[in-house]
Amino acid sequence: MNAMIDDRRIDSGWRLLAVNGKQERLARFHLERAGLEVYLPMRLIVHKGQSSARPFFPGYLFVHVTSTTSWLTILSTIGVKSVVGRGGGEPAPLPLKVINDMRKREENGFIPLDPLPDTPCAFDPGQKVQLGVGRHGATLDAVFKERVDKDRCRLLITFIGRESARVVPLAHVAALGQAS
C-alpha cells in the first residue's frame, strides 16, 4: 500500500487521477460506487469500419471531491494509481472551467477529434518518402500510409529487417530524394 495514503480531508474541486493502463472504466465504476462524481471524457475511434469508445486522455480521469472526501477513499480504489500533482501534499483543484469546456465540446457523449484540414496532403498513400532523423541530416526511407491529423502522418518504416508503422510529424517527412 502507498505510504502517502492518509485520511486527511481535501479542499473541494476537481482533481486529475492517473489510473492503471486500460482501467479507466473500472476506476470510474468503483469511484462512482464510493459516491464520488467522476468525469471520463471519451472520444469515438473508427478503425477498419468499426467504431469504439476510447478515453480522450488514456490513463487518466477526473474526480470531483468535497470536504468530506478522503485521500484514502480515492487512492485505495481499484484501478487508481495516484492523484496527479500530489507529491506529498494536496494538489490544487483544477479550474472548473477546464471540466466545463470539455463537457461543452462533447457531441453525443464524445469529444470530437479535430478534423483533418481541407488542405491536401503532399503525399499519396504508398508513396516512397524519407523521414529525417537526428540533428545531422540522417534519413530513413519509408512508405507514406496516411495522414492522421493536421500535423502528423503514419509511415511504414523498415529498419534492421523489421517493418513497423509509426506516427511521425509531417514536418520530418520529405518526398524521396528531397531534404526534409
Please, which contacts does 158-164 make with residues 24 or more away whose CB atoms are closer than 8 Å? none
How many Å apart are CA 60 and CA 44, to the nearest integer?
Answer: 17
> Any idea of the CA torsion for 159, 162, 167, 169, to the nearest 10 degrees?
10
| pLDDT(171) > 70 | yes
More confident residue, 118 or 133: 133
Which of the listed CATH numbers 3.30.160, 1.10.287, 2.30.30, 1.10.3470 matches domain 128-175? 2.30.30
pLDDT tens digits, 152-165: 889 998 876 778 88
What pLDDT, on a 0 to 100 scale, did the predictor assign at position 117? 63
Average pLDDT score, the chain: 84
What pLDDT, on a 0 to 100 scale, did the predictor assign at position 31? 97
What pLDDT, on a 0 to 100 scale, did the predictor assign at position 3? 42
What pTM value is reported for the model?
Answer: 0.62
40, 53 Cβ separation under 8 angstroms: no
119, 151 Cβ separation under 8 angstroms: no
Task: Return the number of other C-beta atoms located less than 10 Å from residue 18's C-beta.
Answer: 15
Q: Where are the domains positioned within the chain?
A: 13-105, 128-175
Which of the listed CATH numbers 3.40.50.620, 3.30.70.940, 3.90.230.10, 3.40.50.300 matches domain 13-105? 3.30.70.940
How many Å apart are CA 12 and CA 10, to the nearest integer?
Answer: 6
What pLDDT, on a 0 to 100 scale, did the predictor assign at position 116? 58
1 pLDDT band, cuts 50/70/90, is very low
Q: Which residues pair with 166 in a beta bridge?
A: 155
pLDDT tens digits, 85-117: 766 667 778 888 989 999 998 988 998 876 656
Segment (H or E) for 55: strand 50-55
What pLDDT, on a 0 to 100 scale, did the predictor assign at position 45? 81
